[in-house]
A and B are shown apart, each in its own frame.
Chain A
Amino acid sequence: NAGVTQTPKFRILKIGQSMTLQCTQDMNHNYMYWYRQDPGMGLKLIYYSVGAGITDKGEVPNGYNVSRSTTEDFPLRLELAAPSQTSVYFCASSYSGGNNEQYFGPGTRLTVT
């Protein structure tokens, strides 16, 4: 199993551009999550999904959108990129909710200039 994979690894965007961060998991997990990690701030939840077709907001959803058309994929869309969205983005998945372990991808480092 590849686990959770994310593409791209790095990206530089200009202010106002849009992009999609890709996330795929091959563990047949129902739950998927997007976090952003900023220095000294830990990880903050952006959006999550409890199954295909179901998504919900986390702590910091503004400026982002998600979709979940399949169990495997959970892309994160940035519209009108802003410098405040410069961060490292992690996708994670877990088999179910409750106290199940979350498995993280390797991250995407995004810079908006």
Chain B
Amino acid sequence: QQQVKQSPQSLIVQKGGISIINCAYENTAFDYFPWYQQFPGKGPALLIAIRPDVSEKKEGRFTISFNKSAKQFSLHIMDSQPGDSATYFCAASLQTGANNLFFGTGTRLTVIP
């Protein structure tokens, strides 16, 4: 059973455009929602994360929007660049305990020059 559902599976965006990736979860006990970025042949690396006490978090061109009532969160990449081409994973975990992450299935983003 997939604890975190992610869409789309793949995304192609023109340079300068906005990339949007969506995730949904069922477990209302989740209270930490990170996004990881993975380049081919590398391990995932933390990109940005949010806690449910805020509805939005922005770091540079990357923004997480969080809708607690809908149990959904999304990643927006503004002014997408070819260097942003990677696979993006959303995840969720509990603040207490061992920090076990439940990952979405990933979105392969391609930014065309």
| Chain A CB within 8 A of B32 CB | yes
Residues of A within 8 A of B103 (CB): 35, 42-44
B73 interfacial by beta-carbon distance below 8 Å = no
Q: Is A90 within 8 A of B44, CB to CB?
A: yes
Cβ of B99 to closest chain A Cβ, rounded Å: 4
- In the assembled complex, the CB of B101 is this many whole angstroms from the nearest CB of chain A, namely 6
Rounded to whole angstroms, the CA-CA distance of A104 and B100 in the bound complex is 13
Number of interface residues of A (CB under 8 A): 30
Q: Is B46 a contact partner of A102 (Cβ separation < 8 A)? A: yes
Distance between A88 CB and nearest chain B CB, rounded to angstroms:
9
Residues of A close to B98: CB separation below 8 A: 31, 48, 50, 56, 97
Size class of the B contact interface (CB-based, 8 Å): 20 to 34
* B31 and chain A: residue at smallest CB distance: A99
Q: Are B45 and A104 in contact (CB under 8 A)?
A: yes
Residue among A41, A102, A106 with most chain B CB within 10 A: A102
- Knowing A42-B89, A42-B105, A99-B32, the reply to whether A104 touches B99 (Cβ < 8 A) is no
Please tell me if B42 contacts chain A, counting CB pairs below 8 Å.
yes
Q: Which residues of A lie under 8 Å from residue B44 when comparing CB positions?
A: 43, 90, 104
Residues in chain B near residue A104, CB distance under 8 A: 43-45
Q: Does A4 contact B (CB under 8 A)?
A: yes
Task: Give the one of B34, B89, B100 with max A CB within 10 A.
Answer: B100
Instruction: Identify B99's interface contact among A56, A97, A105, CB under 8 A.
Output: A97
Report which of B31, B97, B101, B104 forms a contact with A102, defined as CB distance below 8 A: B101
Closest B residue to A50 by CB, please name it.
B98
Point out residues on A near B: beta carbons under 8 Å.
4, 31, 33, 35, 40-45, 48, 50, 56, 58-59, 90, 92, 94, 96-107
Interchain residue pairs with CB less than 8 A apart (6)? A40-B106, A42-B103, A96-B99, A103-B45, A105-B43, A106-B42
What are the nearest 3 A-B pairs in CB distance?
A104-B43, A42-B103, A99-B32
